[in-house]
């Protein structure tokens, strides 16, 4: 069984991290990914949406350019965490529309992505993380989780935006695990987040565009990272 303080040595491989948008994995579990890469673990990353909805009114970055920019940023951030481009897969579903996508189509794309290295550990956003695409990601993936021995749900927006009902409820029987970050892991996580320049003020011609709040970034970098363990597949590790 996992200890309440998450030990990356206990996570079976291959490990897949799922990001609804570019930067979610850096914000939610970048420190753990850095630790896993230091251990020489087999880690793959899956990007579900194209990230193209963050600045809808930018002239400098129309949607096709923004999609390309965000994909480049995603892979650069993952490289900071020790995950090379050859171990990444981008599905390209439209950002902001995952809840309206056909879940079976998303699951089919996912199954093709991990066919050659089925996950023994899956890191994906918390099922009620306060973003529609994060919640839709869970809905799409949930039927597949019984095949994965270890599923850990990471949080992105829950501390800032979560309502009481968004947090785990006693009847769900989930275990909370914390991963404290070393100074080196904090630095690598900060570097990974910094790679997402489009979300940090690079795009200056869309006043309505999204920008990560410095306070949120500081909280994410400081840690600890929070995970909720879902008992899928066989119990225990």
CATH number, position 179? 3.40.50.10320
Question: Is 1 a domain residue?
Answer: no
> What is the distance between the alpha carbons of residues 4 and 7, in angstroms, rounded to a whole number?
9
- Determine, yes or no, domain membership for 2: no
Would you give the distance in Å from CA 163 to the centre of its chain? Answer: 20
How much is the pLDDT for 235?
34
Q: pLDDT tens digit string along 158-177? A: 999 999 999 999 998 899 99
Q: Per the domain annotation, does 130 fall within a domain?
A: yes
- Residue 176's CB is within 10 A of a number of other CB atoms, namely 12
Q: Is residue 66 part of a domain?
A: yes
Q: Does 235 map to a domain?
A: no
* Mean pLDDT score of the chain: 93
> Which CA distances in Å does 44 have to 58, 163, 176, 208, 230?
32, 31, 23, 33, 20
Amino acid 123: pLDDT? 97
Query: Which residue stretches of the chain have pLDDT < 70?
Result: 1-3, 231-237
* Count of structural domains, the chain: 1
User: Tell me, what's the pLDDT at 4?
Assistant: 86
How confident is the model at residue 5, as a pLDDT?
87
DSSP sequence for 88-147? EEEEEEPTT-GGGS-HHHHHHHHHHHTTTS--SEEEEE-TT-SSHHHHHHHHHHGGGGGG
CA distance 36 to 31: 9
- Distance of alpha carbon 76 from alpha carbon 157, whole angstroms: 22
The predicted model scores a pTM of 0.93
Q: Is the peptide bond before 224 cis (omega within 30 degrees of 0)?
A: yes
Strand order in the sheet with 43-49: 88-93, 43-49, 15-19, 121-125, 150-154, 225-230, 175-179
Classified as helix, coil or strand, 47 is strand
Task: For residue 139, tell me if it sits in a domain.
Answer: yes
pLDDT at 205 (0 to 100): 96
Domain around 135:
8-230
Q: How far apart are CA 55 and CA 202, in angstroms?
A: 11
Tokens at 153, concatenated: 């749900």
The residue assigned the tokens 């790679």 is: 195
State the pLDDT at residue 231: 57
Kindly state whether residue 217 falls inside one of the protein's structural domains. yes
Asked if the structure places residue 236 within a domain, the reply is no
């Amino acid at each position: 069984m996992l200890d309440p303080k998450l030990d990356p040595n206990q996570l079976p491989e291959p490990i897949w991290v799922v990001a609804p948008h570019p930067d979610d994995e850096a914000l939610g579990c970048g420190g753990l990914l850095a630790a896993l890469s230091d251990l020489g673990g087999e880690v793959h990353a899956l990007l579900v949406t194209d990230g193209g909805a963050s600045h809808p009114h930018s002239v400098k970055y129309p949607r096709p350019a923004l999609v390309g920019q965000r994909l480049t940023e995603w892979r650069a951030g993952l490289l900071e965490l020790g995950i090379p481009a050859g171990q990444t897969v981008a599905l390209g579903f439209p950002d902001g529309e995952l809840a309206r996508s056909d879940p079976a189509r998303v699951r089919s794309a996912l199954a093709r992505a991990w066919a050659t290295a089925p996950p023994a550990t899956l890191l994906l956003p918390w099922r009620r993380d306060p973003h529609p695409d994060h919640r839709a990601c869970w809905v799409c993936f949930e039927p597949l989780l019984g095949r994965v021995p270890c599923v850990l749900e990471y949080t992105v927006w829950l501390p800032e935006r979560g309502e009481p009902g968004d947090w785990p409820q006693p009847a769900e029987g989930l275990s909370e695990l914390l991963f404290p970050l070393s100074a080196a892991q904090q630095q690598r996580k900060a570097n990974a987040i910094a790679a997402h320049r489009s979300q940090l003020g690079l795009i200056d011609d869309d006043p309505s565009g999204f920008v990560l709040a410095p306070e949120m970034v500081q909280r994410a970098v400081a840690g600890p990272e929070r995970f909720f363990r879902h008992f899928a597949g066989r119990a225990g590790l």
